[in-house]
Chain A
Amino acid sequence: MYNLKELNNAQGRVRTIDIVKKGLNRRYRKERRFRIFGCAAVIISLSFLSLLFISIISNGYTAFLQTMVRLDVFLDTRVIDKDNLADANYSKLIHEALLSVYPDVTKHNDRRKLYGLVSTSAAYRLRTFVAKNRHDIGTRIQIWVPADDDVDMLMKGYIDRDTPESQRRIDDRQLAWVDQLVRQGQIKKVFNMTFFTAGDSREPELAGICGALFGSFYTLIVTLVLSFPIGGAAAVYLEEFAPKNRWTDIIEVNINNLAAVPSIVFGLLGLAVFLNFFGLPRSVPLVGGLVLTLMTLPTIIIASRSALKAVPSSIREAGLGIGASKVQMVAHHVLPQALPGMLTGTIIGMSQALGETAPLLMIGMVAFIVDIPSGFTDPSTVLPVQIYLWADSPERAFLEKTSAAIMVLLVFLMVMNGVAIFLRKRFEKRH
């Protein structure tokens, strides 16, 4: 803008400092503006994040509580055969216990409604109780059983008593029964252990996250065990050993492209290769882990390569100069330096893998699975799939379970990242 020579030659010589000062305000304004934009960006993203957390937590915290009903059950010896505990009609005992509280309920339809106050699992609970306490058979016992999900929703305030009866999931009579139970202290809300110990269920009061948690755990173990060594080795080879020629260029471009491929494509690939070609079983963490490995490999390779690139070449020269072989140089000096960066890449890859549902759909991990998987070849589902399945269920009570499952997923993610950060810190400290 200003020609310095001309200025200097001009009669009333303008000093540089004056020009600088003239522009100074404009510069600072620009800086302030940029700062404000930056702050605003941070505030906006933080507020979205907190909005997300608030909505999830406010929707979901109630799922950690469960409404329980206390019943006085008479363990009738006519119903329970001491030698054949499994086949006794425990539902009948539960129904009798309910009827004893409300002896005036006689009509068949009303009785059905009354039985509906407690969960269908009450009978199974009773069965377990009896199996453990055989000496109680023939006496009257007190047992807490889970309430039906509608009662649960009512107790948690999700059902409005003011809506007309016909539009409520709980009618006036049931309302009166529940109120009576509350008055008699036969209803309480307890911490929902079931949610953390059970697998999936179609009854919201019985549904738990444990199956999906284990499924995610096994799947991610497979992914980690495969993708970290393979990705790391590939990155080390490409970065340190491979000659730089057209082939390695093509490989590099392909890896970069693979990182951008929609994840469902990896699911299709997994279906074609692992299920149809290798004949591995459907819906198992082993195959899920393999598919997610394919998906996370490019991420890990790219991150590892840039971590390796960032190691100063003087370290390499130092190693070679002292007479280390190339492998020694890489293993002793370059890898320890690059490991924190490689771990970061792995965390990112694993976090992505944890949240994936699309590729798992193709290999059958989007499924209703009740039993908690106990190994890598047991059918299982994963946390995001469980969230998706619950979000799609008609029962109202699954709404809070969905939010609670999201919280569990987030905690899982945080624990995973926490472990990785801990490891990284240890590596950084050591060198």
Chain B
Amino acid sequence: MNQEQTTGHLPRRPGRRPLVERTERETVGQTAVENPRMSCQNVGVFYDSKKAISNICLDIGRNEVIAMIGPSGCGKSTFLRCLNRMNDTIEGCLVTGQILMDGKNIYDSDVDVVPLRAQVGMVFQKPNPFPKSIYDNIAYGARIHGLVQNRDETDELVVGSLKRAGLWNEVKDRLEMPGTSLSGGQQQRLCIARAIAVNPEVILMDEPCSSLDPIATAIIEELIDELKQDYTIAIVTHSMQQASRISQRTAYFHQGDLIEIGPTDQIFLNPLHQLTEDYITGRFG
């Protein structure tokens, strides 16, 4: 759509080296980081023996925002959902390879998904607040995990989370209203507040702004920028401007393969792979 314009004002460095061929599927760029929060090794996902992604090796660093971009159906969302085992809920889905967190493969048979998901929170593409009050939406996760003991603690947590999500001023006098009564952007911030209420270490965001207008999007992007002080954030996005605005590293996916990973500036200004170049210059996608 408007990718032409996007790439239009990104300055190109002259005299660049030749790009990697389109047919080449090996990941280009630095996959490993020092002291990663999560480390993925040869991750593959199959839906009923149909390959969705394969051979993904990628580290997710501490307190970074890593963006995943790529055309529809490239497997970026599938990969994201591997990180807190949300794929488990899909019938016939098989995950291979290893995802290490604190030195432990989260797909080991003795790993419990409940604490994992408390540790790795998620915000979905469509805002999906529970059909309960705003207050209960925030308090729910903390209650089931036993993070709060009494009403005062809960109040404190709810207020704190709403404030961090930048929603407090808008909803402070209607906490008993159902979460579904908010506008789309507010709902999504409510979902973010809900996710941070359980104080996770990693937050996964699956195209969190795709159903929002530009103003709501800008507010959420600001929020993400603030949140990266305390959390590691992995975000899937369709919008390349968004990736370039908020992320430190960007991964480009293509047809189930991780094609290129690198610092965001480099990916957008000076990609190493022909496919990445094609995508960011709007030749497809």
Which among A316, A325, A333 is the interface contact of B114 at CB below 8 angstroms?
Answer: A325
Contact digits for A301-316, partner B, Cβ 8 Å, 1 yes 0 no: 0000000000010111
Q: Does A319 contact B (CB under 8 A)?
A: yes
Q: Do the beta carbons of A323 and B124 come within 8 Å of each other?
A: no
- B43 → A minimal CB distance (Å): 19
Q: Do the beta carbons of B131 and A337 come within 8 Å of each other?
A: yes
Contact digits for B135-162, partner A, Cβ 8 Å, 1 yes 0 no: 0000011001100000000000000000
Chain B CB within 10 A, most for which of A243, A244, A320, A328 = A320
Known: A321-B86, A323-B144, A324-B144. A315 touches B130 (CB 8 A): yes
We find that the number of chain B residues with CB closer than 8 angstroms to chain A is 28
Known: A318-B124, A321-B121, A431-B132. A244 touches B91 (CB 8 A): yes
Q: Do the beta carbons of A318 and B84 come within 8 Å of each other?
A: no
Q: Do the beta carbons of A323 and B114 come within 8 Å of each other?
A: yes
Q: Do the beta carbons of B128 and A332 come within 8 Å of each other?
A: no
Q: Does A317 contact B (CB under 8 A)?
A: yes
Q: Which residue of B lies closest to A316 (CB)?
A: B89
Q: For the complex, what is the distance from the CA of A344 to the CA of B118, rounded to whole Å?
A: 36
Q: Does B198 contact A (CB under 8 A)?
A: yes
Q: Does A322 contact B (CB under 8 A)?
A: yes
Query: Which chain B positions have C-beta within 8 A of A328?
Result: 144
Q: For the complex, what is the distance from the CA of A323 to the CA of B194, rounded to whole Å?
A: 11
Q: Contact residue range for chain A?
A: 20 to 34
Contact digits for B97-137, partner A, Cβ 8 Å, 1 yes 0 no: 00000000000000000111110011110101111100000
Q: Does B261 contact A (CB under 8 A)?
A: no
Q: Does B272 contact A (CB under 8 A)?
A: no
Q: For the complex, what is the distance from the CA of A333 to the CA of B130, rounded to whole Å?
A: 7
Q: Does B191 contact A (CB under 8 A)?
A: yes
Q: Does B52 contact A (CB under 8 A)?
A: no
Contact digits for A323-338, partner B, Cβ 8 Å, 1 yes 0 no: 1110010001100110
Q: For the complex, what is the distance from the CA of A332 to the CA of B130, rounded to whole Å?
A: 10
Q: Do the beta carbons of B130 and A317 come within 8 Å of each other?
A: no
Q: For the complex, what is the distance from the CA of A244 to the CA of B91, rounded to whole Å?
A: 8
Q: Do the beta carbons of A319 and B118 come within 8 Å of each other?
A: no
Q: Which residue of A lies closest to B122 (CB)?
A: A321
Known: A319-B130, A322-B141, A337-B131. A314 touches B124 (CB 8 A): yes
Q: For the complex, what is the distance from the CA of A319 to the CA of B126, rounded to whole Å?
A: 14
- A322 → B minimal CB distance (Å): 4
Q: For the complex, what is the distance from the CA of A151 to the CA of B115, rounded to whole Å?
A: 81
Q: Does B66 contact A (CB under 8 A)?
A: no
Query: Which chain B positions have C-beta within 8 A of A314?
Result: 124, 126, 128
Q: Which residue of A lies closest to B112 (CB)?
A: A325
Q: Do the beta carbons of B140 and A332 come within 8 Å of each other?
A: yes
Known: A316-B89, A328-B144. A321 touches B130 (CB 8 A): no
Known: A244-B91, A323-B144, A323-B198. A318 touches B118 (CB 8 A): no
Contact digits for B252-272, partner A, Cβ 8 Å, 1 yes 0 no: 000000000000000000000
Q: Do the beta carbons of A318 and B89 come within 8 Å of each other?
A: no
Q: Does B195 contact A (CB under 8 A)?
A: yes
Known: A317-B89, A337-B131. A322 touches B198 (CB 8 A): yes
Q: Do the beta carbons of A322 and B121 come within 8 Å of each other?
A: yes
Q: For the complex, what is the distance from the CA of A40 to the CA of B130, rounded to whole Å?
A: 43
Q: Do the beta carbons of A318 and B191 come within 8 Å of each other?
A: yes
Q: Which residue of A lies closest to B131 (CB)?
A: A431
Which among A244, A316, A318, A320 is the interface contact of B129 at CB below 8 angstroms?
Answer: A318
Q: Do the beta carbons of A317 and B191 come within 8 Å of each other?
A: no
Closest 10 CB pairs of A and B: A323-B118, A314-B128, A323-B117, A321-B122, A322-B141, A318-B128, A431-B131, A325-B114, A323-B114, A324-B144
Residues of A near any B CB (own CB < 8 A): 243-244, 312, 314-325, 328, 332-333, 336-337, 431
20 examples of A-B residue contacts, CB within 8 angstroms: A312-B128, A314-B126, A315-B131, A317-B89, A318-B191, A320-B89, A321-B86, A322-B117, A322-B140, A322-B194, A323-B114, A323-B115, A323-B144, A323-B198, A324-B114, A328-B144, A332-B140, A332-B144, A336-B131, A337-B131
New A-B contacts (13) at CB < 8 Å, excluding given A317-B122, A322-B140 = A314-B124, A314-B128, A315-B128, A315-B130, A316-B89, A317-B86, A322-B121, A323-B115, A323-B145, A324-B144, A332-B140, A333-B131, A337-B131
